[in-house]
Amino acid sequence: MTKQRFQQHHQRVAEYFNTLAAKHGYQYRANDYGQEISQRTKYQVMSEIGNLDGRSILDVGCGLAQFYDYLTREQGLQVRYVGIDISPRIVRLALEHHPGLDIRLGDVLNTPLDGPFEYVFANGLFYIDYNHTFVQALIHKVYELCGDGACISTTSSYAPVKHEGEHYSDPAAFFRLCKKLTPRVVLRHDYTAHDFTAYLYRGPFPY
């Protein structure tokens, strides 16, 4: 993918989420979930990467920062949170509901970030049909920024229903990419039929 093509895709995704935020406001549909339970299930799986209490967290593609709400309000955790998202309207809305929280506008590949963060989360970043080079670069960047572990969630090529123009990752190929970075990888395809989550650890498995 050329730099110009990436920027065009980047703009398309930003505009799409700007539209969702304008239409739905501060609710799960602005994060493009069809049901609130789907969002909550994803957050639960993400949070199971390890003990996050007292840890520093980078949430890439943070949307409305509702993963922060899940961790702090539902699980009662204390976290040092930084969120980053490419949608200006989403970021503004997230900041309105989280005054003082560190939420930034930008993309993770081109925005300087003070790291490492103990845990880095990337949820739904491969939103349109990005090519293999971009997917690989993003996995590398997310893992580069983590101190203890990285969590990446994406849509699966095993999804029973697919939509034209969206990106679907082959779980086996994705696993092989992750294994090039660390021997400690967990791939979870057990919580929904249409996507999966990978945990990448720098140290021993936390269980």
CB 124 within 8 A of CB 157: no
Q: Which residue segments constitute the domains of the chain, with CATH numbers given?
A: 3-201 (3.40.50.150)
- Please state which of the ranges 1-15, 80-94, 187-201 shows the lowest mean pLDDT: 1-15
Q: What is the pLDDT of residues 12-54, one digit of tens each?
A: 676 666 576 677 677 666 566 666 777 889 999 999 999 999 9
- Locate 76 and state its tokens: 């009662």
What is the end-to-end Cα distance of the chain in Å, rounded? 39
Q: What is the pLDDT of residues 141-199, one digit of tens each?
A: 999 999 999 999 998 999 998 877 778 899 999 999 999 999 999 999 999 989 999 99
The total of other beta-carbon atoms located within 10 Å of residue 9's CB is 18
- In single-letter form, the type of residue at position 101 comes to L
Q: b/e for 97-109, b at 16 or more Cβ within 10 A? A: ebeeeebbeebbe
Rounded CA-CA distance 204/105 in Å is 33
Residue 14 pLDDT = 65
- Locate 104 and state its tokens: 């930034």
- Locate 144 and state its tokens: 């580069």
Pairing of strands 195-201, 146-155: antiparallel
Tell me the Cα Rg of the chain: 16
